Chain A
Amino acid sequence: MLQGWIQIALTLLIVVAITPFFGRYMARVFVGQRTIFDSVLNPLERTFFLLSGVRAREEMTGWQYARAVLYSNLAMLVFIYLIFMFQGVLPFNPTGLSAPSWDLALHTAISFVTNTNQQHYSGETTYSYFSQFAALGFMMFTSAATGIAVAIAFIRGLTGKPLGNFYVDLTQAITRILLPISIVGAMILMAAGVPETLAGPAIVPTLENPGISQAIARGPVAHYEIIKELGENGGGFFGINSAHPFENPNGFTNLVEIVALLSVPTSLIYTFGLFANNRKQAWLIYSMVMIIFVGFIVITAIGEYDGNPAVNTLLGNQQPNLEGKEVRFGWAQSALFAVSTTATMCGAVNALHDSFMPNGGFVTLSNMFLQIVWGGQGTGTAYLFAYLILAVFVTGLMVGRTPEFLGRKIEKREVVLASFLILLVHPIAILIPTALTLTIPGVSGITNPGFHGLSQVVYEYASAAANNGSGFEGLDDGTLWWNLSASFSLLAGRYIPIVALLLLADSMSRKQPVPATAGTLRTDTGLFTGVTAGVILILGALTFFPVLALGPVAEAFQIVKGIG
Chain B
Amino acid sequence: MKTRNESSTSSRPIRLPGRRRGDRSHTPKADRKGLYQRAIRESFVKLTPRIAVRNPVMFVVWLGTIVTLLVTINPNLFGSVQADIGQQRLLNGIITLILFFTILFANFAEAVAEGRGKAQADALRSTRSDTVARKLSPDGSVQDISSTKLRRGDQVKVIAGDMVPADGDVIQGIGSVDESAITGESAPVLKQPGTDIASSVTGGTRLLSDELIVRITSDPGQGFIDRMISLVEGAERSKTPNEIALTVLLAVLTQVFLIVVATTPSVSGYIAGFLDGVAGATTGNNLRTGTSIAILIALLVALIPTTIGGLLSAIGIAGMDRVAQFNVIATSGRAVEACGDVNTLVLDKTGTITLGNRLADEFIPVNGHSVPEVADICLAASVFDETPEGRSIVQLAQKLGAKFDLDGQPAEGIEFSARTRMSGTDLDSKEYRKGAVDAIKGFVRSRGGQVPTTLDEAYERVSRLGGTPLAVCQGNEIYGVIYLKDIVKTGLRERFDQLRRMGVKTIMLTGDNRITASVIAQEAGVDDFIAEATPEDKINVIRSEQAQGKLVAMTGDGTNDAPALAQANVGVAMNSGTQAAKEAANMVDLDSDPTKLIDLVTIGKQLLITRGALTTFSVANDIAKYFAIIPTIFAAAGIGALNIMGLKSAQSAIVSALIYNALIIPVLIPLALRGVQFRPLTADQLLQRNMLIYGLGGIIAPFIAIKAIDLILPLS
Contacts and interface: CB of A to CB of B under 8 A. Distances in A.
Q: How large, as a class, is the contact surface on chain B?
A: 35 or more
B245 A393 contact: yes
Interface string A509-547: 000111101111110010110010010001100111111
A324 B105 CA distance: 56
A315 to B, nearest CB: 25
A542 B626 CA distance: 8
B254 to A, nearest CB: 10
Nearest to A535: B619
A453 B611 CA distance: 43
Contact of B695 (A451, A534, A546): A534
B609 A398 contact: yes
Contacts of B641: 557
A548 B642 CA distance: 12
B266 A439 contact: yes
Interface string B245-260: 1101100110111011
Contacts, number: 219
Contact of B501 (A518, A549, A557): A518
A431 B258 CA distance: 11
A399 B504 contact: no
A433 B502 CA distance: 49
B358 to A, nearest CB: 33
B683 A539 contact: no
Interface stretch (A19-27, A201-209, A272-280, A421-429): A421-429
Given A438-B269, A439-B269, A531-B691, A398 B259 contact: no
A439 B270 CA distance: 8
A393 B245 CA distance: 9
A397 B609 contact: yes
B264 A522 contact: no
A400 B607 CA distance: 7
Interface stretch (B182-190, B629-637, B703-711): B629-637
B271 A538 contact: no
Nearest to B259: A427
B549 A395 contact: no
Interface in A398-416: 398-402, 407, 410-412, 414-416
Interface residues of A, number: 68
A432 B343 contact: no
B630 A393 contact: no
A397 B630 contact: no
B605 A401 contact: yes
B695 A520 contact: no
A71 B609 CA distance: 44
Interface string A384-400: 00000010011111111
A521 B340 CA distance: 13
A543 B256 contact: yes
A531 B642 contact: no
A400 B260 contact: no
A41 B244 CA distance: 49
B628 interface: no
A514 B263 contact: no
Given A398-B613, A398-B686, A542-B623, A514 B259 contact: no
A423 B504 contact: no
Nearest to A530: B691
A390 B253 CA distance: 12
Nearest to B337: A402
A395 B639 CA distance: 33
B688 interface: yes
Nearest to B546: A512
Nearest to A436: B266
A434 interface: yes
A419 interface: yes
A233 B278 CA distance: 39
Contacts of A423: 252-253, 256
Contact of A427 (B260, B341, B611, B683): B260
Contacts of A561: 638
A532 B264 CA distance: 28
Nearest to B687: A399
Most buried by B among A401, A538, A544, A547: A401
A212 interface: no
A158 B505 CA distance: 27
A400 B242 contact: no
A134 to B, nearest CB: 40
A450 B276 CA distance: 11
B651 to A, nearest CB: 18
Contact of A396 (B241, B244, B612): B612
B606 interface: yes
Residue of A394, A399, A542, A545 most packed against chain B (CB within 10 A): A399
A397 B242 contact: yes
B555 interface: no
Contacts of B266: 434-436, 438-439
A210 interface: no
A435 B271 CA distance: 12
A436 B695 CA distance: 36
Given A423-B252, A424-B256, A553 B642 contact: yes
A393 B269 CA distance: 37
B695 A400 contact: no
A542 B252 CA distance: 15
Interface in B583-640: 604-606, 608-609, 611-613, 615-616, 619-620, 622-623, 626, 630-631, 634, 637-639
A519 B612 contact: no
A549 B548 contact: no
A546 B241 contact: no
Nearest to B693: A398
A402 B341 contact: yes
Given A395-B687, A527-B688, A554-B637, A415 B267 contact: no
Contacts of A513: 549
A550 interface: yes
Contacts of A522: 683-684
6 contacts: A398-B616, A419-B248, A454-B271, A513-B549, A531-B695, A564-B278
Interface of A: 390, 393-402, 407, 410-412, 414-416, 419-420, 423-424, 427-428, 431-432, 434-436, 438-439, 449-451, 453-454, 512-515, 517-522, 525, 527-528, 531, 534, 538-539, 542-547, 549-550, 553-554, 557-558, 561, 563-564
4 interchain residue pairs of minimum CB distance:
A519-B503, A397-B612, A400-B605, A517-B503
Interface of B: 241-242, 244-246, 248-249, 252-253, 255-257, 259-260, 262-264, 266-271, 274, 277-279, 337, 340-341, 343, 500-505, 548-551, 604-606, 608-609, 611-613, 615-616, 619-620, 622-623, 626, 630-631, 634, 637-639, 641-642, 678, 682-684, 686-688, 690-691, 694-695
